[in-house]
Amino acid sequence: MATVLDDIISGVREDLKTRMRAIGPVQIIEQAAAAPAALDAAAMLAAPGPVKIISEVKRKSPSKGELATIPDPAELAGSYEAGGATAISVLTEQRRFGGSLDDLDAVRERVRIPLLRKDFMVSEYQMFEARAHGADIILLIVAALDDRQLHDLFQQSADLGMTALVEVHDEHETERAVELGARVIGVNARNLKTLEVHREMFGKLAHLIPDDCVKVAESGIRGPEDIAYYVSQGADAALVGEALVTGGEPSQAVRTMIEAGARARQGVA
């Protein structure tokens, strides 16, 4: 039986074919080569200091449906940056998340911090596409890739100067990410095959991730209290979408989360 993840990837592949007919592989490679060099997002996420917040431009999701209209993604991203976000995540998957590469372009023009192309990466073309549109970080979902695909796309991200955020959800996936040599590993509390959220998953998997890796908490973050919880479990960073696009003042919301993380870190220390 097909899972939610299977259905999403099927749609991603169909949309990818359409884009490839419009812009061929040779052209997208040329565009990627002409783009300014990627920022070293891994170093920024690993830098000493408060918990790092990756703030997301997210219109909707398969689990919650419509979240926010976001008429101006660049303005929202600018507010995130002003609030102290370390990086901006932009959804580019269109069917389930309402995103686009146009959103990525608009945000790239506005902010000077690292930019994550948040999508379901399954091909080399998408990697060049991400770089051509100014992404510094790409998402590799271990559950969506076999070992060869994961290795090849991870290597390609390095060749293009981008940071790979390697996403896991269980013990086996975490082992695969560590063996890969990932520097930034995200633990998604949401199982993409069922859409169920288990916030305790981060704590269960964090000890399997080497301390020299950046440990990113993903999903299930409703506010500052969840940031504090994840930091107490060893999170270095958090990817936050829904709570920021639905919570009112995004700049202040980011600041509040950073402050909550700082207090939690002091308590652990």
Q: Determine the residue type at 81.
A: E
Residues marked as catalytic: 56, 58, 118, 167, 188, 218-219
The single residue listed with the structure tokens 């999903």 is 219
Q: How far apart are CA 218 and CA 235, in angstroms?
A: 10
Q: Determine the residue type at 101.
A: L
Q: How far apart are CA 111 and CA 55, in angstroms?
A: 12
Helix (H) / strand (E) containing 109: helix 101-110
Residue 185 — φ and ψ, nearest 5°?
-120, 125
Note the pTM of the prediction, 2 decimals: 0.95
Task: Kindly list the structural domains of the chain, giving each domain's residue range(s) and its CATH number in brackets, ordered by start.
Answer: 4-266 (3.20.20.70)
pLDDT attached to residue 152: 98
CB 59 within 8 A of CB 17: no
Encode burial over 43-77: b for 16+ CB neighbours within 10 A, e otherwise: ebbbeeebbbbbbbbbbbbbeeeebbebeebbebb
Strands 87-91 and 65-66: unpaired
Q: Which two structure tokens, joined as six digits, stand for 18?
A: 């359409």
Positions in the chain short of pLDDT 70: 268-269
pLDDT attached to residue 269: 46
Q: How far apart are CA 251 and CA 255, in angstroms?
A: 7
- Tell me the pLDDT tens digit for each residue of 189-211: 988 888 888 889 999 999 999 99
- Tell me the pLDDT tens digit for each residue of 12-58: 999 999 999 999 999 999 999 999 999 999 999 999 999 999 999 98
pLDDT attached to residue 268: 57
